Amino acid sequence: MSDVFTSAWFYWAIGIAIGLPVGLITLTEWQHALRRRKSFLLKPVTLLRNYLLPLGALLLLMIEASRVPAGSTSVRMVGTLVAFVVLVLLLSGINAAVFQSAPDGSWRKRIPGIFLDVARFLLIAVGLAMIFAYIWGANVKGLFTALGITSIVVGLTLQNSVGQIISGLLMLFEQPFKIGDWLDTPAAKGRVVEVNWRAVHLETGTGLQITPNSVLAGASFTNLSRPPGKHTIMVTSVFAVDDAPDEVCAMLVRVASELPQCHPDLPPSAVPLGAKEYQTKIPLKSPADDGKAKATFLRWVWYSARRAGLHLDEAEDQFSTPERVTAAIRSIVAPTLRLDREEQQRLIPHATMERFGDGELVQRSGEVPAGIKFIVSGEVRLTAIAEDGSEVVVGSHERGSFLGQSTLTRQPVIGWSYAVGEVTMVYLAREQVETIVHDNPLLLQEFGRTIEQRRDYMLRAVATSEGDDAS
């Protein structure tokens, strides 16, 4: 019995029997804590708990407790597994501590994943060579010589593919783009969704464009996402010779600035190019908005140019005819303003028909209306800006309603009005409305009540929205 307590294997066995469960419990608690924090160190700790600790205990048990010779095959196999797990653990720990946890924008975060794969492959190759050399006594020098000759033969056979890989590595080392950037290449225009050893994958409007790295490295391309916030599109328009250039440019800039895709901190601009052409420069939030921004701009310019009396594509607007104006005043304006037939006839020469495109701004918050617009067809959505800066929909107006009633009191509008679908309106200038109201004081009182009711309704709607968000 005394021989057992004096034997070295006994204390190794007791230490392993106690240390292994304690180590497993400790590492399990650490693993749970890292999982709750969603830490990048979770994977290395899992490798340590599930593989390295049990294999290390087994190796110690075989060598120290069971006295198995170190040169036996079983010990070498377990030792190989332990060394390989240590190698994987070191690589995983370095990757988690240095690269995965790196802050955005740092050099560690900007290193392409392909470089990490190459470095990881080389380290694994060197590590395996050391394992075979020290544990199994293999002649790794001859192995490396054979691999070198084989690599030369394979390189000559696959020189085109290897050239693409080298081109990709050099291009990624320069880092002219990253995942998520928008590129305009000779082959296609799209967003970078993947970069691998052979090619760059671009997501375009017609599918996935695969461009080999060697082709992209040898060609000229544009990174539309750099510098950030500086992407613009150019739209060319044609107007008649008689249209005043300053008036045309002001209209184009106004329409461009109202686009939802327009960059809020960068103003658009428009310049005449000569030969009846004008070019509008529109800064956008993202290159992804190119197509939608251009389509919306062209559609809104069509409506805005006709309202301003300009001749887009040298075309005449034949919409505001006396017949349409007469019908709109008889069916929409006369019931609201209580006009008799004689007053309607006097009003016809001073009224005009206007159209707004879907989503176009009809009335701006803070402006004093120059007249009243009566809705003939379509719908107008009313919105307001809450204290947190969000836009709140507070109501809508349909056929028979009107906007700009505060033109008589010279009060600024407190909400925004947008067209829902195509909207047709009949417009009366302030002077004409004042003449009508002057002959009918009761109408002025009704306008005053309407102004107060709409103001109170909009303020209540904003307050209700803010209360719902807070709850």
DSSP assignment string, 293-304 = HHHHHHHHHHHH
Same domain, 341 and 257: no
Residue 75 CB neighbour total at 10 angstroms = 17
**Closest by Cα among 318, 353, 334 to 425:** 353
Domain shared by 334 and 385, yes or no: yes
Q: Per the structure, how many domains does the chain have? A: 4
- The reply to whether 278 and 336 lie within a common domain is no
- Whether 135 is covered by a domain: the verdict is no
Q: Are strands 182-184 and 189-195 parallel, antiparallel or unpaired?
A: antiparallel
Per-residue model confidence as pLDDT tens for the chain (471 residues)? 445 555 666 677 787 788 888 888 888 888 888 888 888 888 888 888 888 888 888 878 777 767 777 778 788 888 888 888 888 888 888 877 777 776 765 666 666 666 677 777 778 878 888 877 777 777 766 656 656 656 665 555 545 556 666 666 666 666 788 888 888 888 888 888 887 767 888 988 788 888 887 778 777 888 888 777 778 999 999 999 999 999 999 999 999 999 999 998 889 999 999 889 999 999 998 888 888 999 999 999 999 999 999 999 999 888 999 999 999 999 999 888 888 888 889 889 989 999 999 999 999 988 999 999 999 999 999 998 877 777 888 889 999 998 988 888 888 888 899 999 999 999 999 888 888 887 777 777 777 777 777 777 777 776 766 555 544
Supply the pLDDT for residue 151. Answer: 60
346, 413: one domain: yes
Q: Which residues pair with 395 in a beta bridge?
A: 382
Same domain, 238 and 209: no
327 and 452 inside one domain: yes
Give the alpha-carbon dihedral of 185, 188, 189, 190, to 10 degrees. -110
- Prediction pTM value: 0.64
Question: Domain residues for 69?
Answer: 2-111
Give dist(CA 266, CA 255) in Å, integer: 14
* 217 and 240 inside one domain: no
Tell me whether residue 239 is in a domain. yes
Pairwise CA distance, residues 166 & 159, whole Å: 10
Integer Cα distance of 73 and 71 in angstroms: 7
CATH of the domain at 189: 2.30.30.60
Contact 270, 332 (CB under 8 A): no
Count Cβ atoms within 10 A of the Cβ of residue 44 and give its class: 0-12 exposed, 13-18 middle, 19 or more buried: buried
> What is the Cα–Cα distance from 267 to 284, expressed in whole angstroms?
10
Are the CB atoms for 39 and 59 separated by under 8 Å?
Answer: no
Separation between Cα atoms, residue 69 and residue 314, nearest integer Å: 98
Residue 106 placed within a domain: yes
Q: Is residue 129 part of a domain?
A: no
Residue that is last in its domain, among 307, 333, 364: 307
- Establish if 92 belongs to a structural domain: yes
127 assigned to some structural domain: no
Question: What is the rounded CA–CA span in Å between residue 417 and residue 403?
Answer: 9
Same domain, 210 and 275: no
303, 216: one domain: no
Assigned domain for 97 exists: yes
- Note whether 107 and 78 are same-domain residues: yes
Domain boundary among 274, 307, 340: 307
Question: Can you give the pLDDT at residue 471?
Answer: 46
Q: What is the CATH number of the domain that holds 294?
A: 3.30.70
Q: Do 195 and 57 reside in the same domain of the chain?
A: no
In a domain, 45, yes or no: yes
Do residue 202 and residue 263 come from a single domain?
A: no
**The predicted structure's pLDDT at residue 462:** 67
CATH number of the domain residue 430 falls in: 2.60.120.10
